[in-house]
Structure 1
Amino acid sequence: MQGTDAKPIRVETAAELDALIDAHDRLLVELFTEGCGACAAMEPVLGVVARETGVPVALVNPRDDPVLIERFDVRSVPTLVRFEDGEAVDRLAEGFVGADRVIEFLR
């Protein structure tokens, strides 16, 4: 998936997210909300991360499917969740972070 066209994928429901999780060995998910400046600023960073690492990135607003808030214990946004082989293995909820920090998080 590495390449210049790697962009974050927007999903709206838990079912869409689950399909992406199932389709990829590794996946990075950003949980965001509309109107969140730090979340909006993360999108271009995540595009860089997808291109640099080849790891697909999904963006989901848990308010669109509130089951996601409880499922991922979302307390602040943006929250990044790293999936490996279908399992959530790590999370990063430090607000806005740069591409280098996200790439480090993926290692």
Structure 2
Amino acid sequence: MSDTLDEERERIREQKKRELMNRLEGGDGSEAAATDAGAPDEPIPIEGGDHLESVVETHGVVLVDCYADWCGPCQMLEPTVEALAAETDAAVAKVDVDAHQTLARQLGVQGVPTLVLYADGEPVERLVGVQDRGTLEGLIDQFA
């Protein structure tokens, strides 16, 4: 499994490198700035309920990953979540359920990982357990 993680990380590094090269070659960077105004290229660590609310209000589509550091399936899902943040128009937010137990309860988390997809400020989909990248990309594309 570590080979798969290493391959995924290397693929993400290469994409970031290409994006950086395109920005550097692009001149004034106005196109890059317009792209950056959308969703961040990395998952957003959520610091509490107000912070999550702000992220959901700021971005049209937000995938919230409710995880725990000790959770094996959460660790398996992490490279996929990072890739989705880097390569889709959705913002990706991460909620540590141990650090934010009240928020996890408010989100209805009963098992980890739990993924909640928000579109236009409203939760539209909830998935529990490890999900494949294609499934998550399909859901994001549906609402993006």
Give the shorter-chain TM-score range. Answer: 0.7 to 0.9
**What is the deviation of 1:30?**
0.4
**Contact 1:8 1:43 (C-alpha < 8 Å) held by counterparts:** no
Structure 1: gaps spanning 5 or more residues: none
**What is the deviation of 1:52?**
3.0
More helix by share: 2
Q: Which has the bigger relative contact order, CA under 8 A and spacing at least 6?
A: 1
TM-score (norm 2): 0.65
TM-score (norm 1): 0.85
Which of 71, 80, 87 aligns to 1:36? It is 71
Q: Which structure is larger by alpha-carbon Rg, 1 or 2?
A: 2
**What is the deviation of 1:81?**
0.3
Q: How does 1:5-84 map to 2 (within 5 A)?
A: 6-84=41-119
Structure 2: gaps spanning 5 or more residues: 1-14, 17-39
Pairwise CA RMSD of aligned residues?
1.7
**What is the deviation of 1:68?**
1.6
Percent identical pairs in the alignment equals 31
